[in-house]
Structure 1
Amino acid sequence: MSRDPNLLSGGNPQIPKGYGEEPIRAYIAATPGWKREVVQRLDALITDAVPDVRKAVKWNSPLYGAGEDGWFLSLHGFTRYVKVAFFRGTSLRPQPPVGSKTPETRYLHISESEPLDEAQFTDWVRQASRLPGERM
Protein backbone atom coordinates (compact mmCIF):
# COMPACT_ATOMS: atom_id res chain seq x y z
CA MET A 1 0.00 0.00 0.00
CA SER A 2 1.59 3.24 -1.19
CA ARG A 3 1.10 6.57 0.49
CA ASP A 4 1.80 10.05 -0.76
CA PRO A 5 5.11 11.55 0.35
CA ASN A 6 5.08 14.25 3.01
CA LEU A 7 5.61 17.80 1.83
CA LEU A 8 8.22 19.75 3.74
CA SER A 9 7.90 23.47 4.38
CA GLY A 10 7.69 25.28 1.07
CA GLY A 11 6.10 22.23 -0.55
CA ASN A 12 9.29 20.29 -1.29
CA PRO A 13 8.49 16.54 -1.36
CA GLN A 14 10.15 14.29 1.21
CA ILE A 15 11.53 11.44 -0.92
CA PRO A 16 13.72 8.60 0.39
CA LYS A 17 17.37 8.68 -0.65
CA GLY A 18 17.99 6.73 -3.82
CA TYR A 19 20.00 6.54 -7.03
CA GLY A 20 18.83 6.42 -10.64
CA GLU A 21 15.70 7.36 -12.51
CA GLU A 22 13.12 5.94 -10.08
CA PRO A 23 13.67 8.35 -7.16
CA ILE A 24 13.71 11.28 -9.60
CA ARG A 25 10.36 10.15 -11.04
CA ALA A 26 9.00 9.83 -7.49
CA TYR A 27 10.21 13.36 -6.68
CA ILE A 28 8.58 14.78 -9.83
CA ALA A 29 5.30 12.94 -9.17
CA ALA A 30 5.18 14.25 -5.59
CA THR A 31 6.02 17.86 -6.47
CA PRO A 32 2.89 19.97 -5.99
CA GLY A 33 1.18 22.38 -8.36
CA TRP A 34 2.95 24.37 -11.07
CA LYS A 35 6.36 23.32 -9.74
CA ARG A 36 5.81 19.74 -10.97
CA GLU A 37 5.82 20.88 -14.60
CA VAL A 38 8.94 23.01 -13.99
CA VAL A 39 10.86 20.15 -12.34
CA GLN A 40 9.77 17.73 -15.05
CA ARG A 41 10.97 20.14 -17.77
CA LEU A 42 14.28 20.78 -15.97
CA ASP A 43 14.88 17.02 -15.70
CA ALA A 44 14.18 16.60 -19.44
CA LEU A 45 16.51 19.48 -20.39
CA ILE A 46 19.29 18.10 -18.17
CA THR A 47 18.87 14.59 -19.60
CA ASP A 48 18.93 15.91 -23.18
CA ALA A 49 22.00 18.10 -22.54
CA VAL A 50 23.98 15.38 -20.72
CA PRO A 51 22.81 12.01 -22.11
CA ASP A 52 24.84 9.93 -19.60
CA VAL A 53 23.81 12.03 -16.59
CA ARG A 54 23.77 10.29 -13.21
CA LYS A 55 20.73 10.96 -11.03
CA ALA A 56 19.93 10.64 -7.34
CA VAL A 57 17.72 12.05 -4.63
CA LYS A 58 19.52 12.98 -1.41
CA TRP A 59 18.34 15.31 1.33
CA ASN A 60 14.97 15.52 -0.48
CA SER A 61 16.61 17.11 -3.53
CA PRO A 62 17.34 15.71 -6.99
CA LEU A 63 21.06 15.67 -7.82
CA TYR A 64 22.66 15.39 -11.25
CA GLY A 65 26.22 14.29 -11.99
CA ALA A 66 28.49 13.57 -14.92
CA GLY A 67 31.18 10.93 -14.96
CA GLU A 68 32.22 9.33 -11.70
CA ASP A 69 33.18 12.51 -9.89
CA GLY A 70 30.45 14.18 -7.83
CA TRP A 71 27.40 16.25 -8.64
CA PHE A 72 27.13 19.42 -10.73
CA LEU A 73 23.57 20.52 -9.98
CA SER A 74 20.63 20.07 -7.60
CA LEU A 75 16.98 21.11 -7.49
CA HIS A 76 14.83 22.08 -4.50
CA GLY A 77 11.25 23.30 -4.27
CA PHE A 78 10.29 26.36 -2.24
CA THR A 79 6.93 28.08 -1.83
CA ARG A 80 7.46 30.67 -4.57
CA TYR A 81 10.17 29.12 -6.76
CA VAL A 82 12.23 26.10 -7.74
CA LYS A 83 15.89 26.61 -6.84
CA VAL A 84 18.55 25.24 -9.18
CA ALA A 85 21.97 25.07 -7.51
CA PHE A 86 25.01 24.99 -9.77
CA PHE A 87 27.77 23.85 -7.42
CA ARG A 88 30.55 25.39 -9.54
CA GLY A 89 28.36 28.28 -10.67
CA THR A 90 31.06 30.93 -10.41
CA SER A 91 32.87 29.11 -13.24
CA LEU A 92 29.87 29.37 -15.58
CA ARG A 93 29.63 32.14 -18.19
CA PRO A 94 27.56 34.11 -17.67
CA GLN A 95 27.14 33.24 -14.01
CA PRO A 96 23.66 32.25 -12.80
CA PRO A 97 22.03 35.30 -11.19
CA VAL A 98 21.75 34.43 -7.48
CA GLY A 99 24.73 34.25 -5.13
CA SER A 100 25.25 31.83 -2.27
CA LYS A 101 26.98 31.65 1.10
CA THR A 102 29.03 28.83 -0.45
CA PRO A 103 31.78 30.57 -2.45
CA GLU A 104 31.49 28.66 -5.76
CA THR A 105 27.73 27.99 -5.80
CA ARG A 106 25.32 30.09 -7.83
CA TYR A 107 21.54 29.70 -8.02
CA LEU A 108 18.78 30.10 -10.56
CA HIS A 109 15.29 30.68 -9.09
CA ILE A 110 12.41 29.71 -11.36
CA SER A 111 9.03 31.14 -10.41
CA GLU A 112 5.57 30.57 -11.79
CA SER A 113 5.42 34.07 -13.29
CA GLU A 114 8.82 34.16 -15.02
CA PRO A 115 9.47 31.82 -17.94
CA LEU A 116 12.61 29.71 -18.02
CA ASP A 117 15.23 30.68 -20.58
CA GLU A 118 15.72 27.11 -21.79
CA ALA A 119 18.65 27.92 -24.07
CA GLN A 120 20.61 29.63 -21.25
CA PHE A 121 19.72 26.88 -18.77
CA THR A 122 20.86 24.17 -21.19
CA ASP A 123 24.13 26.03 -21.83
CA TRP A 124 24.77 26.26 -18.06
CA VAL A 125 24.02 22.53 -17.67
CA ARG A 126 26.49 21.61 -20.41
CA GLN A 127 29.16 23.88 -18.92
CA ALA A 128 28.55 22.60 -15.37
CA SER A 129 28.68 18.94 -16.45
CA ARG A 130 32.27 19.44 -17.69
CA LEU A 131 33.51 20.87 -14.36
CA PRO A 132 34.66 18.87 -11.31
CA GLY A 133 31.63 17.72 -9.36
CA GLU A 134 30.71 18.33 -5.73
CA ARG A 135 31.16 15.27 -3.49
CA MET A 136 28.12 14.54 -1.33
Structure 2
Amino acid sequence: MKAGKTSRKPAKKVAKKATKAVTKTSAAKPKLLSGGNPQIAKAYGDAPVQAYIAAMPGWKSDVGRRLDALITRAVPGVYKAVKWNSPLYGFEGQGWFLGIHVFTKYVKVAFFRGTSLRPIPPGESRQKEVRYLDIHEDNPLDDAQLTAWVKQASKLPGERM
Protein backbone atom coordinates (compact mmCIF):
# COMPACT_ATOMS: atom_id res chain seq x y z
CA MET A 1 0.00 0.00 0.00
CA LYS A 2 1.32 3.48 -0.87
CA ALA A 3 2.10 6.01 1.84
CA GLY A 4 -0.87 8.19 2.67
CA LYS A 5 -3.43 5.58 1.60
CA THR A 6 -5.49 3.67 4.15
CA SER A 7 -7.41 0.46 3.83
CA ARG A 8 -11.14 0.95 4.19
CA LYS A 9 -13.84 -1.65 4.41
CA PRO A 10 -17.13 -0.91 2.71
CA ALA A 11 -19.55 0.81 5.12
CA LYS A 12 -22.17 -1.93 4.70
CA LYS A 13 -19.80 -4.64 5.92
CA VAL A 14 -18.66 -2.61 8.94
CA ALA A 15 -22.24 -1.75 9.90
CA LYS A 16 -23.30 -5.38 9.50
CA LYS A 17 -20.49 -6.59 11.81
CA ALA A 18 -21.34 -3.94 14.43
CA THR A 19 -25.02 -4.95 14.36
CA LYS A 20 -24.12 -8.62 14.84
CA ALA A 21 -21.93 -7.76 17.83
CA VAL A 22 -24.68 -5.67 19.46
CA THR A 23 -27.31 -8.35 18.85
CA LYS A 24 -25.06 -11.08 20.24
CA THR A 25 -24.20 -9.03 23.34
CA SER A 26 -27.74 -7.90 24.13
CA ALA A 27 -29.14 -11.40 23.62
CA ALA A 28 -26.73 -12.94 26.14
CA LYS A 29 -28.07 -13.39 29.65
CA PRO A 30 -26.07 -11.54 32.30
CA LYS A 31 -23.80 -13.62 34.47
CA LEU A 32 -24.99 -14.05 38.05
CA LEU A 33 -22.31 -13.21 40.58
CA SER A 34 -22.05 -14.41 44.16
CA GLY A 35 -25.46 -14.55 45.82
CA GLY A 36 -27.25 -14.27 42.48
CA ASN A 37 -26.41 -10.61 41.90
CA PRO A 38 -26.61 -9.87 38.13
CA GLN A 39 -23.43 -8.63 36.48
CA ILE A 40 -24.51 -5.61 34.46
CA ALA A 41 -22.02 -3.21 32.87
CA LYS A 42 -21.84 0.31 34.28
CA ALA A 43 -24.39 2.43 32.44
CA TYR A 44 -26.80 5.30 33.02
CA GLY A 45 -30.54 5.46 32.43
CA ASP A 46 -33.57 3.22 32.81
CA ALA A 47 -32.49 0.50 30.34
CA PRO A 48 -29.56 -0.91 32.39
CA VAL A 49 -31.68 -0.84 35.55
CA GLN A 50 -34.43 -2.77 33.76
CA ALA A 51 -31.82 -5.26 32.47
CA TYR A 52 -30.58 -5.75 36.04
CA ILE A 53 -34.13 -6.28 37.34
CA ALA A 54 -34.94 -8.76 34.54
CA ALA A 55 -31.79 -10.73 35.41
CA MET A 56 -32.55 -10.91 39.15
CA PRO A 57 -33.17 -14.60 39.94
CA GLY A 58 -36.58 -15.99 40.95
CA TRP A 59 -38.81 -14.02 43.31
CA LYS A 60 -36.20 -11.26 43.55
CA SER A 61 -37.08 -9.99 40.06
CA ASP A 62 -40.66 -9.32 41.22
CA VAL A 63 -39.28 -7.42 44.22
CA GLY A 64 -36.99 -5.44 41.89
CA ARG A 65 -39.90 -4.44 39.63
CA ARG A 66 -41.97 -3.46 42.65
CA LEU A 67 -39.14 -1.39 44.14
CA ASP A 68 -38.38 0.33 40.84
CA ALA A 69 -42.06 1.21 40.31
CA LEU A 70 -42.40 2.50 43.87
CA ILE A 71 -39.26 4.64 43.61
CA THR A 72 -40.27 6.02 40.20
CA ARG A 73 -43.77 6.94 41.50
CA ALA A 74 -42.42 8.49 44.71
CA VAL A 75 -39.72 10.54 42.95
CA PRO A 76 -40.81 11.64 39.47
CA GLY A 77 -37.80 12.30 37.24
CA VAL A 78 -35.45 10.13 39.32
CA TYR A 79 -32.12 9.48 37.62
CA LYS A 80 -31.07 5.82 37.35
CA ALA A 81 -27.84 3.95 36.73
CA VAL A 82 -26.15 0.63 37.30
CA LYS A 83 -22.73 0.91 38.94
CA TRP A 84 -20.82 -1.79 40.79
CA ASN A 85 -23.51 -4.30 39.69
CA SER A 86 -26.21 -2.43 41.63
CA PRO A 87 -29.01 -0.12 40.49
CA LEU A 88 -28.67 3.37 41.92
CA TYR A 89 -31.29 6.12 42.15
CA GLY A 90 -30.62 9.83 42.49
CA PHE A 91 -30.52 13.11 40.61
CA GLU A 92 -28.15 13.81 37.75
CA GLY A 93 -25.19 15.81 39.00
CA GLN A 94 -26.44 15.67 42.61
CA GLY A 95 -25.50 12.14 43.64
CA TRP A 96 -27.36 8.99 44.70
CA PHE A 97 -29.80 8.54 47.56
CA LEU A 98 -30.58 4.81 47.24
CA GLY A 99 -29.15 1.56 45.88
CA ILE A 100 -30.35 -2.03 45.46
CA HIS A 101 -28.28 -5.20 45.65
CA VAL A 102 -29.15 -8.91 45.39
CA PHE A 103 -27.92 -11.44 47.93
CA THR A 104 -28.57 -15.17 48.19
CA LYS A 105 -31.58 -14.94 50.51
CA TYR A 106 -32.69 -11.31 50.25
CA VAL A 107 -32.69 -8.04 48.34
CA LYS A 108 -30.92 -5.19 50.13
CA VAL A 109 -32.10 -1.58 49.79
CA ALA A 110 -29.40 0.87 50.88
CA PHE A 111 -30.33 4.38 51.97
CA PHE A 112 -27.08 6.33 51.74
CA ARG A 113 -28.21 8.95 54.28
CA GLY A 114 -30.39 6.50 56.18
CA THR A 115 -29.62 7.78 59.67
CA SER A 116 -31.46 11.00 58.69
CA LEU A 117 -34.68 9.13 57.87
CA ARG A 118 -37.58 8.81 60.30
CA PRO A 119 -38.07 6.20 61.49
CA ILE A 120 -34.53 5.01 60.83
CA PRO A 121 -34.45 1.89 58.60
CA PRO A 122 -33.57 -1.21 60.64
CA GLY A 123 -30.35 -2.47 59.04
CA GLU A 124 -27.11 -1.04 60.37
CA SER A 125 -23.98 -0.46 58.30
CA ARG A 126 -20.29 -0.03 58.97
CA GLN A 127 -20.66 3.30 57.21
CA LYS A 128 -21.87 5.96 59.62
CA GLU A 129 -24.86 7.33 57.67
CA VAL A 130 -25.96 4.28 55.66
CA ARG A 131 -28.95 2.18 56.72
CA TYR A 132 -30.44 -0.89 55.07
CA LEU A 133 -33.74 -2.58 54.52
CA ASP A 134 -33.40 -6.31 53.78
CA ILE A 135 -36.34 -7.79 51.88
CA HIS A 136 -36.78 -11.56 52.27
CA GLU A 137 -39.10 -13.73 50.20
CA ASP A 138 -41.59 -14.39 53.01
CA ASN A 139 -41.61 -10.89 54.53
CA PRO A 140 -44.37 -8.55 53.40
CA LEU A 141 -43.16 -5.23 52.05
CA ASP A 142 -44.62 -2.15 53.73
CA ASP A 143 -45.18 0.05 50.65
CA ALA A 144 -46.29 3.07 52.71
CA GLN A 145 -43.16 3.03 54.90
CA LEU A 146 -40.84 2.37 51.98
CA THR A 147 -42.44 5.22 49.99
CA ALA A 148 -41.99 7.57 52.97
CA TRP A 149 -38.30 6.61 53.25
CA VAL A 150 -37.74 7.04 49.50
CA LYS A 151 -39.34 10.50 49.51
CA GLN A 152 -37.31 11.56 52.56
CA ALA A 153 -34.07 10.15 51.13
CA SER A 154 -34.59 11.93 47.80
CA LYS A 155 -34.60 15.30 49.58
CA LEU A 156 -31.25 14.74 51.30
CA PRO A 157 -27.84 15.48 49.75
CA GLY A 158 -26.86 12.64 47.43
CA GLU A 159 -23.85 10.36 47.76
CA ARG A 160 -21.18 11.02 45.11
CA MET A 161 -19.92 7.74 43.73
Give the match for residue 21 of structure 1.
Answer: 46
Instruction: Please point out which of 131, 140, 143 is paired with 1:115.
Output: 140
Rounded to whole Å, the distance in 2 between the matches of 1:123 and 1:135 is 23
- How far the C-alpha of 1:67 sits from its partner, in A, is 5.4
Shift in Å, 1:127: 0.1
Any residues of structure 2 matched to 1:1-136 within 5 Å, and which?
A: 1=24, 2-66=27-91, 68-136=93-161
Greater Cα radius of gyration, structure 1 or 2: 2
TM-score by length of 1: 0.98
For each residue in 1:58-110, what CA deviation from the matched residue of structure 2 results, as whole angstroms up to 9, or x when unmatched? 00000000353100000000011000000000000000001000000000000
Q: Which structure 1 residue ranges, 5 or more long, are not aligned?
A: none
- The percent identity for this pair of structures is 68
Q: After the TM superposition, which segments of 4 or more aligned residues of structure 1 sit over 2 Å from their partners?
A: none
Q: Which protein has greater RCO, CA pairs closer than 8 Å, 6+ apart?
A: 1
The amino acid that maps onto 1:103 is K
* Matches of 1:132 and 1:51, distance apart in 2: 17
Count of residue correspondences: 136
Any unmatched runs of 5+ in structure 2?
A: 1-23
Larger CA deviation: 97-106 vs 59-68: 59-68
In structure 2, how many angstroms separate the alpha carbons of the residues matched to 1:64 and 1:28? 14
Root-mean-square deviation over aligned CA pairs: 0.7
* Whole-Å separation in 2 of the counterparts to 1:133 and 1:60: 19
* Matches of 1:73 and 1:115, distance apart in 2: 20
SS in 2 for 1:72: strand
| Structure with greater helix percent | 2
SS in 1 for 2:96: coil
